[in-house]
Chains A and B, each alone.
Chain A
């Protein structure tokens, strides 16, 4: 088996190709990226580039856009001359008032809860990585996988707006138009997906490696 010192690819001076998972020996003094994978041609990197800085930038950008996304209306309904603008939250409240609890819950979870949860988890992961925390790395990795998986479901509201503007197009009788809030909300979803992509979960485990080193006797 391996020597206890070489527990991770990085500590064994190996690079794992991000696309085809081929292990490649890292040339001494190699730059980042250290060339290309001999099998699939992807750039070889030990970790995602500038992961912490990039993820922070995207998280902050998403937080900024989160405000107009929730304050500005996402749709404008014109029905027989009466104009009504709806934000994400007013849509949820409308569903609660009309007794459609399941739909209210779906929209609230997908549009309000998930983006916020995702941003909070990413911030927790970033801070813990920066503090070189050794706190429950397995659970933090699991949290990361959750943020990766749930982000896409926030698109539900954007899709609902798309379908509504297509269907409710009846001239003076009833008309639905998309409003600026929808664009900001779409930006939040896209930015948080990129934020989750730019975070490298291996950083969670790197703190453990550096602290483990003294016990290694190859």
Chain B
């Protein structure tokens, strides 16, 4: 980031001159306390690596059995998508769509968008339409709710504990890992680093 350039706070619009923010430090707005800049070490490389790992985990989480339900010797195995499909069959397509978007589609789109932006940028050749994708990435981020889904799993497991035994499948562990990878990926992403890399070759 260039030294002493002006920036307006996104939460209160106050103009302030940005200092050089060292890696690992946070610049906050002097008036409302919003985070203005938070440079990270190797931000681009870390985000890219985590995004690729996240894609692998997301594929695994959707391919293997998610939760098993054992009652009276009978085992019912379900996929992550089973519940979504059941909601659709029970005449709740809008709820099914919402769950599909928040647990599968939004995380997938988020990870693909990150790889699309970061991989070419790593080789100093910005991808075409990079900014459109970035804008899109920011608007889908609030709809990616993997960590909330995990809490939902915990509540369900406790709720059904008296009735039957719940066996977490391979996909459940992949999904759990995905939550941490996704969170680490988004928090190591430094937008200012992306802009400066984009402006550098010009």
- CB pair B152 A162 closer than 8 Å: yes
Q: How many residues of A contact B (CB 8 A)?
A: 67
- CB pair B152 A173 closer than 8 Å: no
- CB pair A155 B145 closer than 8 Å: yes
- CB pair B86 A169 closer than 8 Å: yes
Interface centre among A21, A98, A157 (most CB of B within 10 A): A21
Give the contacting residue for A166; candidates B31, B78, B102, B142; CB below 8 A.
B78
Bound together, the chains give a CA A19 to CA B158 distance in angstroms of: 42
Chain A residues contacting B152 (CB-CB under 8 Å) are 155-160, 162-163
Known: A100-B158, A164-B156, A165-B83. A205 touches B67 (CB 8 A): no
A123 located at the interface, meaning its Cβ lies under 8 Å from any Cβ of chain B in the complex: no
Stretch from A27-35, A53-61, A124-132, A182-190 that touches the partner: A182-190
Closest to A140 in B: B32
B183 located at the interface, meaning its Cβ lies under 8 Å from any Cβ of chain A in the complex: no
Known: A9-B15, A164-B159. A155 touches B90 (CB 8 A): no
Bound together, the chains give a CA A1 to CA B14 distance in angstroms of: 13
Chain B residues contacting A97 (CB-CB under 8 Å) are none
- CB pair A103 B7 closer than 8 Å: no
Known: A103-B159, A107-B155, A186-B95. A167 touches B10 (CB 8 A): no
Min CB distance A133 to B, Å, is 15
- CB pair A205 B155 closer than 8 Å: no
Bound together, the chains give a CA A183 to CA B98 distance in angstroms of: 10
Which residues of A, 105-123, contact B by the 8 Å Cβ criterion? 106-107, 110
Q: How many A-B pairs fall under 8 Å by CB?
A: 185
Chain A residues contacting B69 (CB-CB under 8 Å) are 167-168
Min CB distance B98 to A, Å, is 5
What 0/1 pattern do residues 1 to 18 of A give for CB contact below 8 A with B? 110001111101010101
A73 located at the interface, meaning its Cβ lies under 8 Å from any Cβ of chain B in the complex: no
Bound together, the chains give a CA A173 to CA B131 distance in angstroms of: 54
Chain A residues contacting B95 (CB-CB under 8 Å) are 158, 161-162, 178, 182-183, 186
- CB pair A23 B83 closer than 8 Å: no
Min CB distance A39 to B, Å, is 7
Closest to A9 in B: B8
- CB pair A41 B15 closer than 8 Å: no
- CB pair B132 A41 closer than 8 Å: yes
Min CB distance A177 to B, Å, is 5
Chain B residues contacting A100 (CB-CB under 8 Å) are 158
B123 located at the interface, meaning its Cβ lies under 8 Å from any Cβ of chain A in the complex: no
Bound together, the chains give a CA A45 to CA B131 distance in angstroms of: 17
Min CB distance B159 to A, Å, is 7
- CB pair B15 A12 closer than 8 Å: yes
Min CB distance A80 to B, Å, is 12
The 7 sampled A-B contact pairs (Cβ below 8 Å) are A9-B8, A21-B191, A153-B148, A167-B156, A168-B69, A182-B92, A187-B94
Query: A178-B87, A183-B94 are known contacts; what are 11 more A-B pairs with Cβ within 8 Å?
Result: A6-B15, A8-B14, A20-B191, A23-B8, A137-B12, A162-B86, A165-B83, A166-B83, A177-B90, A186-B95, A205-B12
Q: Which residues of A are interface residues toward B (Cβ below 8 A)?
A: 1-2, 6-10, 12, 14, 16, 18-23, 39-42, 95, 98, 100, 103, 106-107, 110, 137-138, 141-142, 144-145, 152-153, 155-170, 173-174, 177-178, 182-183, 186-187, 190, 193, 197, 201-202, 204-206
